[in-house]
Amino acid sequence: MFKLSKNKEKQYLSELFEFLKIPSVSADPKYNKSVNKAANWLSKSLSNSGCNNVEIINTDGHPIVYGEKIIDSKLPTILVYGHYDVQPPDPIELWDSSPFDPVIKKTDIHPQGAIFARGACDDKVQVYMHIKSLELMIAKNSLPCNVKFMIEGEEEIGSNNLEIFVSNNLDKLKADIILISDTGIINNKNPSITTALRGLSYMEIKVTGPNRDLHSGLYGGTVANPINVLCEIISKLKDSKGTVNIPGFYENVQILSIDEREKIAKVPFDKDLFKKSIGVKDTEGEIGFSTPERKSIRPTLDVNGIWGGYIGEGAKTVIPSIANAKISMRLVPNQNWKKISSIFENHIQNIAPKTVRVEITTHHGGQAYVTPTNNIGYKAAHLAYKKSFGKVPFAVRDGGSIPIVPMFEELLNCKTILMGFGLDSDAIHSPNEHFGLFNFFKGIETIPYFYHNYTKLYKEKYF
């Protein structure tokens, strides 16, 4: 629909680089100023695109940026959601270029070049594609329906304040469909639409033993070592078959039909490439399930971080007073994240020895989500990818989580279409995160098709 001139491409990239240069890390208060700066930048970008009623809404946490273009109340309304906050760039020393100084480099997977920066794929470039798509539609007088934008700054830390904002603004946010580009496609030759997200329960364990770090000679062998205890607890959470050993963990897990599992098996998946791309000798996981199944339709448990004791230079003989671990559980449809968090807590307390004190904190969580494929939103996305990539998109259940999506359904009674353009190899949350230029321009091409297809299908259905 929109073929960009070389000049326009250049202009877009230089604008985008300004956005990527702002270190809008939501998790760390030392970046708060930059988070506000990113919200400001976005609000200006939205206004420049032709959006009306653009506002920066302050919350108890980071601000939400809102804008809308309402052309006719009889026409359908698309609510675009995204996030301008990014993950911390650490470990910085593993980046080949500075995380907040974007550069374009060619890679094997992105021969046309990719933009390297924290937040490139997740989710700044994908948000920017939506703004530019809207700008182009408004400029060419071809915006077919109403649109509302809601871009938040706390997705990476659990969207707590967005939930409050949505509950208090049900009318303002009323829409026919929610559109999000914060996921990916299989690869640049095989487009796909994400039809499921996993739920999440994120926990922290703190094990306390003696009231201070002890000399490991004077005390070694006489008291429980919190790190040893923590390791023992963790080693009991999963067995060698990849099964999570928490009583009740699998109670409500949705079991997929053979038909649905066959569909998953038909989606292109190159196991050797998978292994090679992350540098592992082999995969592992729950017995009886394929790798694509293990990362989509099955729940799992992983330690995300573990610390305690002496980790500085050289050796220090010490029994630590405290050991900590952060543990996440990825959940699937019908598991309730609050219930899972609570059975996790009970189980840990049950198996912990009486020689230590164990404290458990729930960080955040959310439900899994499944997009139906028999509605006009999905159909519109399907046709949009088909047109821009020249290939029918696969429906793929994803392993990541966007907890606000099931929340939208609950509060706004509205379905979400997950039209992402990133690749798994784009290294989101990792050093050297990037986003392909091909993907960037494809996004700008595909999104307007969605608007047009959706409006057309909506009219056929309701007019």
Residues near Mn ion, by CB under 5 A: 122-123, 182
The single residue among 61, 292, 333, 400 that binds ligand BES, judged by CB under 6 A, is: 400
The site map against ligand BES for 349-368 (x = CB under 6 A) is ---------------x----
d(CA 182, CA 155): 11
Q: Can you tell me whether residue 225 is helix, strand or coil?
A: coil
User: Nearest 5°: CA angle at 113, between 109 and 116?
Assistant: 95
Task: Answer yes or no whether residue 26 interacts with ligand BES by CB under 6 A.
Answer: no
Q: Give least dist CB 363 to ligand BES, A.
A: 9
User: Nearest 5°: CA angle at 460, between 455 and 461?
Assistant: 95
The single residue among 76, 89, 158, 436 that binds ligand BES, judged by CB under 6 A, is: 158
The site map against ligand BES for 85-124 (x = CB under 6 A) is -------------------------------------xx-
> Based on CB atoms, which residue is closest to ligand BES, 203 or 352?
203
Count of helix runs (H) and strand runs (E) in the chain: 12, 18
Do residues 113 and 425 lie in contact, with contact meaning Cβ atoms separated by under 8 Å?
Answer: no
**Cβ-Cβ contacts under 8 Å for 307 (sequence gap 6 or more):** 323, 324, 325
Size of the site for ligand BES (CB under 6 A): 16
Task: Answer yes or no whether residue 443 interacts with ligand BES by CB under 6 A.
Answer: no
Task: Answer yes or no whether residue 308 interacts with ligand BES by CB under 6 A.
Answer: no
Binder of residue 403, out of Mn ion, ligand BES, none (CB less than 5 to 8 A by kind): ligand BES
d(CA 172, CA 153): 19
Only one of the segments 48-56, 182-190, 216-224, 389-397 lies at the binding site for ligand BES (rule: CB under 6 A); that segment is 182-190
Whats the size of the chain, residue-wise? 463
d(CA 102, CA 118): 8
The single residue among 182, 426, 433, 445 that binds ligand BES, judged by CB under 6 A, is: 182
Task: Answer yes or no whether residue 155 interacts with ligand BES by CB under 6 A.
Answer: yes
**Cβ-Cβ contacts under 8 Å for 240 (sequence gap 6 or more):** none
The single residue among 26, 43, 45, 183 that binds ligand BES, judged by CB under 6 A, is: 183
Tell me whether the omega of the peptide bond preceding residue 182 falls within 30 degrees of 0, making it cis: no
State the pairing for strand pair 177-180/77-83: parallel
Binding site for ligand BES (CB under 6 A): 122-123, 155-156, 158, 182-184, 197, 200, 364, 398, 400-403
